C-alpha cells in the first residue's frame, strides 16, 4: 500500500515509514527554515513484489529482458487515489532533480526511481525474497515556476559552504541566504548534511525565494592524498564530487556515461559523452549549448581524468548513412562538433578532452576524417588523443591497418558488434533474444584483442553487454582498460569488476 503525507505533518512517529532524512526535512520546516511545500510517497511494495515474482531473474541471460518487461507492466499501474488527493491542484513537480508535469507523469517518474533502486539490488545480490522491501520514500516538491535548482553543504576542509547550481542561475542575494540556511540547518540537525534547494519564484513574490527541498547524508572523506578543489559556481558536476578524492576498487577503469542525466558519481575514472545522445539536428542551438555545457563542466570538474568525446553518430537504421561517413558529408552535423572542440580546447584550454571517431566502415574513412580534423587544428598529438569506435566486424578483421593509420585507443561497441555478427537489428524488440548469443562474439574478438595487447593500444567497451558476467570475465582476462556505464550502474560495476578480477586471479593460481 502506498502511503502519502505532506512534509509539514510528518512527526517522529512516522520515521519508520517515511525515513529519517525526510523527517529531518520536516523538522527544519517546523524550525521556521524555508522548506518547499511538498509530500513524501512510499513505494508500492506489494505491487512491485507481485510483478517481479512473475519474471525470471535467476538467469543472467534473461535479466535485461525481464527487467524491461517489468518496467512496461509497472508503467500501466494507475496513480493511487491518495496521491491524486494529496497533490490537489498542483500540476508541476520536482522528483529527484527531475521536473515533471501532471499526476500521471509524476507517478511514472516515482515508479522509475524505485525500479532503478531495485535494478541496483539485482545487480549486486541477484533476486531474493524481500527485494522490494525498504525502498526509499520519495520527496515530491510542488513547483510553480522554478528558476534554479541545486545542492549545497558545508565543507569543513575549506571552512565554507559549497553550493552547486544544477539548473538555471541563482542571484547573489539568494546565494548568501542559502549559505546561512545551510549553516542553520546543520545546527538544527546537530550533524552536517547535504541539502537540495530550489528558487521557485523571485524573492519578491509571495512564496518565492530560495527553499530547501531535500536532506541527504553527508560524509566527509578524509585522506592523506593531496588534491586541488575544483568547484564551479554553475555546475551539476561540481560541489563535493569535484573535491573528494576517488577511491578505486578495481584495476579496470570505470567511465561514467554523461550523455544523459544531471547526476554525477564520484568514484569514476573517466567520462564518456556520446554527442548523438545530446545534439539534436532539429534543435541545433539548444542542444549544442547543452553539449557544450556538459563537456566544459565535466572537463573542469574532472580535470585530472580523461574525457572521451564521441562525435555524433546519427543513425537511421541498419545499412543507412551514419557515423564517420555522415560526418564527412553533412556540415550541419560535423561543424558543431568541431566548434565544440575548438571552444573547449583552444579557448577554454581544457586539454583533457579527447576525440572518439564513431562508426568507421573502412581505413579510408578514418584517414579522411583525421585530415578534416587536422585542418581544424584538431590533429592527433600528445595532448589530443584520437580513439576509434569499433562497431562493425570489418574493423576487427582489418584492425592492424587501423592501428597503422594511427589511433590512440579503441572503443568496442559490443551491442553494435553482436548485432552485425548475429544478423539482427537491435532496434527490433522481438529480435532482442539474439543479443544474448555472445559466444560467437567473444571468439571473433580473440585475435583482435591479442593484437591490441601486443601493440599496447588500450581498449574500453561500451554497451549493455559489457556488464554481462560471461562477457565481463572475458574482458577482464583480456586486459580491458575500462568500461562505460550509466550513473546507476557505477557502484555495481565496481563490485562486478572486483569479483571478476578475483575469479581470474584464483583461476591462474590453481
Q: 482: domain CATH number? A: 3.20.20.60
pLDDT band of 235, cuts 50, 70, 90: very low
- DSSP-derived letter for residue 12 is G
User: Which residue among 168, 193, 217 closes a domain?
Assistant: 217
Residue 72 has pLDDT above 70, yes or no: no
Range picked from 257-261, 281-285, 313-317 for highest mean pLDDT: 281-285
Q: Which residue has the higher pLDDT, 372 or 222?
A: 372
Instruction: Examine the fold and report which residue of 193, 217, 241 is the final residue of a domain before the chain moves on.
Output: 217
CA distance 311 to 318: 19
User: Is residue 195 in a domain?
Assistant: yes
Q: Report the alpha-carbon distance of residue 83 to residue 271 in Å, rounded.
A: 38
Residues 65, 79: contact at Cβ < 8 Å? no
Write the CB contacts of 445 (distance below 8 Å, at least 6 apart in sequence).
396, 412, 417, 478
pLDDT tens-digit profile of 240-252? 333 333 334 578 8
Q: For the whole model, what pTM was predicted? A: 0.54
Regarding whether 129 and 184 lie in a shared domain, the answer is: no
**Residue of 270, 263, 214 whose CA lies nearest to 241:** 263
More confident residue, 243 or 406: 406
- The answer to whether residues 362 and 399 belong to one domain is yes
- φ, ψ (nearest 5 deg) of residue 107: -65, -40
pLDDT higher than 80, residue 239: no
Q: How far apart are CA 37 and CA 8, in angstroms?
A: 8
| In contact, 196 and 178? CB cutoff 8 Å | no
Same-domain status, 419 and 455:
yes
The count of structural domains within the chain is 3
Using DSSP bridges, classify how beta strands 193-199 and 148-155 pair: parallel, antiparallel or unpaired. Answer: antiparallel
Q: Give me the numbers of helices (H) and strands (E) for the chain, helices first please.
A: 18, 17
Query: Do 298 and 340 reside in the same domain of the chain?
Result: yes
- Residue with the larger pLDDT of the pair 500 and 337: 337
> Which of 217, 232, 263 is a domain's end point?
217
State the pLDDT confidence band at 59, using cuts at 50, 70 and 90: very low
Q: Is residue 167 part of a domain?
A: yes
- Grid coordinates given for 189: 540537525
Containing structural domain, residue 474: 253-509
User: What SS3 state is found at 382?
Assistant: coil
Q: What is the pLDDT of residue 229?
A: 35
Contact (Cβ atoms closer than 8 angstroms) between residue 441 and residue 388: no
Measured from the Cβ of residue 362, the count of other Cβ atoms closer than 10 Å reads 16
Q: Which residues of 198-216 are buried (b: 16+ CB within 10 A; e: fewer)?
A: bbbbeeeeeeebbbbbbbe
Amino acid at each position: 500500500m502506498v502511503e502519502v503525507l505532506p512534509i509539514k505533518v510528518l512527526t517522529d512517529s512516522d520515521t519508520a515509514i517515511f525515513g529519517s532524512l525526510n523527517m529531518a526535512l520536516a523538522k527544519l520546516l517546523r524550525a521556521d527554515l524555508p522548506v518547499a511545500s511538498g509530500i513524501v510517497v512510499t513505494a508500492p511494495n506489494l505491487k512491485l513484489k507481485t510483478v517481479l515474482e512473475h519474471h525470471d531473474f535467476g538467469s543472467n541471460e534473461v535479466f535485461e529482458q525481464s527487467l524491461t518487461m517489468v518496467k512496461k507492466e509497472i508503467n500501466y499501474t494507475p496513480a493511487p487515489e491518495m496521491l491524486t488527493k494529496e497533490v490537489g491542484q498542483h500540476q508541476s513537480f520536482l522528483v529527484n532533480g527531475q521536473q515533471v508535469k501532471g499526476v500521471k507523469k509524476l507517478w511514472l517518474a516515482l515508479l522509475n526511481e524505485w525500479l532503478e533502486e531495485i535494478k541496483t539490488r539485482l545487480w549486486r545480490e541477484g533476486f531474493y525474497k524481500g527485494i522490494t522491501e525498504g525502498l526509499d520514500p520519495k520527496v515530491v516538491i510542488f513547483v510553480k515556476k522554478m528558476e534554479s535548482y541545486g545542492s549545497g553543504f558545508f565543507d569543513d576542509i575549506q571552512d565554507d559552504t559549497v553550493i552547486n547550481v544544477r539548473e538555471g542561475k541563482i542571484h547573489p542575494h539568494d546565494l548568501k541566504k542559502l549559505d546561512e540556511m545551510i549553516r542553520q540547518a546543520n545546527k538544527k540537525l546537530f550533524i552536517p548534511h547535504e541539502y537540495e534547494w530550489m528558487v521557485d519564484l523571485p524573492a519578491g513574490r509571495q512564496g518565492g525565494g530560495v527553499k530547501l527541498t531535500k536532506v541527504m547524508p553527508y560524509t566527509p572523506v578524509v585522506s592523506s592524498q593531496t588534491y586541488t578543489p575544483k568547484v564551479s559556481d554553475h555546475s551539476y558536476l561540481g560541489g563535493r564530487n569535484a573535491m573528494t578524492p576517488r577511491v578505486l576498487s578495481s584495476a579496470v577503469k570505470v567511465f561514467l556515461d554523461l550523455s544523459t542525466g544531471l547526476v554525477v558519481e564520484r568514484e569514476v575514472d573517466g567520462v564518456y559523452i556520446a554527442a548523438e545522445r545530446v545534439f539534436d539536428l532539429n534543435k541545433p542551438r539548444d542542444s549544442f549549448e547543452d553539449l557544450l555545457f556538459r563537456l566544459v563542466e565535466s572537463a573542469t570538474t574532472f580535470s585530472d581524468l580523461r574525457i572521451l568525446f564521441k562525435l555524433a553518430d546519427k543513425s537511421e537504421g541498419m545499412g543507412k548513412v551514419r557515423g564517420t561517413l555522415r560526418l564527412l558529408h553533412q556540415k550541419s552535423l560535423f561543424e558543431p562538433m568541431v566548434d565544440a572542440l575548438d571552444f573547449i580546447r583552444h579557448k577554454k584550454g581544457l586539454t583533457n578532452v579527447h576525440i572518439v571517431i564513431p562508426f568507421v566502415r573502412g581505413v579510408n574513412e578514418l584517414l579522411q576524417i583525421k585530415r578534416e580534423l587536422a585542418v581544424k587544428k584538431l590533429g592527433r598529438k600528445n595532448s589530443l588523443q584520437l580513439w576509434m569506435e569499433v562497431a562493425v566486424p570489418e574493423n576487427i578483421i582489418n584492425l592492424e591497418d587501423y592501428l597503422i593509420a594511427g589511433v590512440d585507443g579503441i572503443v568496442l561497441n559490443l551491442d553494435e558488434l553482436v548485432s552485425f555478427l548475429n544478423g539482427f537489428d537491435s532496434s527490433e524488440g522481438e529480435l532482442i533474444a539474439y543479443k544474448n548469443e555472445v559466444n560467437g562474439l567473444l571468439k571473433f574478438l580473440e585475435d583482435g584483442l591479442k593484437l591490441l595487447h601486443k601493440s599496447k593500444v588500450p581498449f574500453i567497451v561500451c554497451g549493455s553487454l559489457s556488464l554481462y558476467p560471461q562477457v565481463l570475465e572475458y574482458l577482464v582476462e583480456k586486459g580491458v582498460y575500462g568500461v562505460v556505464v550509466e550513473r546507476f550502474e557505477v557502484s555495481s560495476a565496481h563490485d562486478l569488476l572486483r569479483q571478476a578480477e578475483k575469479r581470474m586471479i584464483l583461476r591462474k593460481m590453481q
